[in-house]
Amino acid sequence: MDKQQIITFIAEQIATGKISKSDLVTLWGEDSNVAQQISSTIQPINPVVDKEESSNNLINTFYGIGAIIAILGVSILVAQHWDEIGFFGRILVTLGISLVAYVVALLMNNPQQKMISQAMFTIAAALAPLGTFVLLNEANISFDWSTQIITSLILMLIFGTALFISKKNILVLITVGFATWAYYAGIMKIFGFDYYNNDFLKWASMLLGASYISIAYGYQSISQAIDTGDLKEKKAIQNILYGFGTLAILGAGIFVGGGFDVFYIALIFGAFYGSVYVKSRSMLTLGAFFLMAHIIKLTSKYFVSSIGWPVALILVGFLVIGVGYLTFYLNRKFITLK
């Protein structure tokens, strides 16, 4: 927490009445004149600004809902009228809309158009794979793993270029999403998908999760945010990446089994420590969830036959309560108050 964030936090507490300016004088101690001077420089949060922020949040919500409805509408239109609209109609409502949305999003450079620009990028990214499939299907090109690798890499390059040009935060998730598609398509192309390489896919998913966490941690441009709203948005992107990374590592790791079960406990507590270090609530929540799941797994696997189900359930119940309290404590102590 830097100096400006501390001052902003104190100003918010004064505005909500949790602390008063006299409290600052008391905390300062002997040099009360200096404390009075500091407290006089802290301006209470303007209620008008709060109302404006709430209004912007509502508008942004409508942008997001509108993007989802538009994508859903195009998908239903293509599915219901696949034969009637023909090849050019399919291309028009998929690649055509995707291209238009992409160009419009790039042209929206005004800060006030930031959210609608990101909504347009979302529409473009969602429709591009569908349009590509339609185009390749018409050309009688199989949409196999090799084709998917090329397609995902091209789309990753296109939206990565948009990220470099426009610096829109949503493009981080979109670019990472297409890179993930290429990653799994490459694995399927090389190793295939069957029972014998199932364990390999688990390790590959854990490696991908570690990559997500590394990308989130390396997203240092968050410190270059000009305004608080942009800072919150970048933190949200980081939190999403931390969440997906933790989910990939712990979600795949819990199914490895064997001697890895012992090391898995270390991974879970690593998630707890990491959540405090990077201030990620999603990492903390997922760590708690998988700790409870692992406790249930180990209890049912190793202790039910010796102590019986009723005793095992009592033991698990108290352990889960303990995990819940630990999660609450860590969140309140180290994450909520940033």
Do 336 and 231 lie in one domain? The reply is: yes
Do 227 and 324 lie in one domain? The reply is: yes
pLDDT at 53: 52
Do 23 and 77 lie in one domain? The reply is: no
- Number of domains within the chain: 3
Per-residue 3-state assignment (H helix, E strand, C coil) for the chain = CCHHHHHHHHHHHHHCCCCCHHHHHHHHCCCHHHHHHHHHHCCCCCHHHHHHHHHHHHHHHHHHHHHHHHHHHHHHHHHHCHHHHHHHHHHHHHHHHHHHHHHHHHHCCCHHHHHHHHHHHHHHHHHHHHHHHHHHHHCCCCCCHHHHHHHHHHHHHHHHHHHHHHCCCHHHHHHHHHHHHHHHHHHHHHHCCCHHHHHHHHHHHHHHHHHHHHHHHCCHHHHHCCCHHHHHHHHHHHHHHHHHHHHHHHHHHCCCCCCHHHHHHHHHHHHHHHHHHHCCHHHHHHHHHHHHHHHHHHHHHHHHHHHCHHHHHHHHHHHHHHHHHHHHHHHHHHHCCC
The verdict on residue 249 lying in a domain is: yes
Do 27 and 94 lie in one domain? The reply is: no
- Residue 24 sits in which domain range? 1-45
The verdict on residue 70 lying in a domain is: yes
Tokens of 106: 């790039």
Per-residue 3-state assignment (H helix, E strand, C coil) for 154-174 = HHHHHHHHHHHHHCCCHHHHH
Using the 3D structure, point to which of 166, 193, 220 is the last residue of a domain: 193
- Asked whether the beta carbons of 126 and 71 are under 8 A apart, the reply is yes
Do 186 and 56 lie in one domain? The reply is: yes
Do 189 and 51 lie in one domain? The reply is: yes
Per-residue pLDDT of the chain (338 residues; tens, 9 = 90+): 556 557 666 766 666 566 666 666 666 554 555 445 555 554 444 544 445 455 555 565 666 676 677 777 767 766 776 677 777 887 888 888 899 989 989 988 777 778 888 888 998 999 899 889 988 988 888 889 999 999 999 999 999 999 988 888 899 999 999 999 999 999 988 877 665 567 788 899 999 999 999 999 887 555 444 344 467 778 888 899 999 999 999 999 988 877 788 888 889 888 888 888 888 888 888 988 888 888 888 777 766 666 665 666 667 677 777 777 777 777 777 776 54
The verdict on residue 198 lying in a domain is: no
The verdict on residue 199 lying in a domain is: no
pLDDT in tens, 218-241: 875 554 443 444 677 788 888 999
pLDDT at 225: 44
Do 179 and 54 lie in one domain? The reply is: yes
Tokens 């981080």 correspond to 172
pLDDT in tens, 110-150: 777 788 888 889 989 998 998 899 889 888 888 899 999 99
Do 120 and 147 lie in one domain? The reply is: yes
pLDDT at 303: 64
Do 54 and 35 lie in one domain? The reply is: no
pLDDT at 308: 60
Do 258 and 136 lie in one domain? The reply is: no
Do 270 and 337 lie in one domain? The reply is: yes
Tokens 């008391």 correspond to 26
Cα–Cα distance between 138 and 115 in angstroms, integer?
35
Do 35 and 74 lie in one domain? The reply is: no
The verdict on residue 144 lying in a domain is: yes
The verdict on residue 200 lying in a domain is: no
Cα–Cα distance between 94 and 122 in angstroms, integer?
13
The verdict on residue 311 lying in a domain is: yes
pLDDT at 121: 92
Query: Residue 238 class from Cβ within 10 Å (0-12 exposed, 13-18 middle, 19+ buried)?
Result: buried
The verdict on residue 217 lying in a domain is: yes
Q: 253 phi and psi, to 5 degrees? A: -65, -30
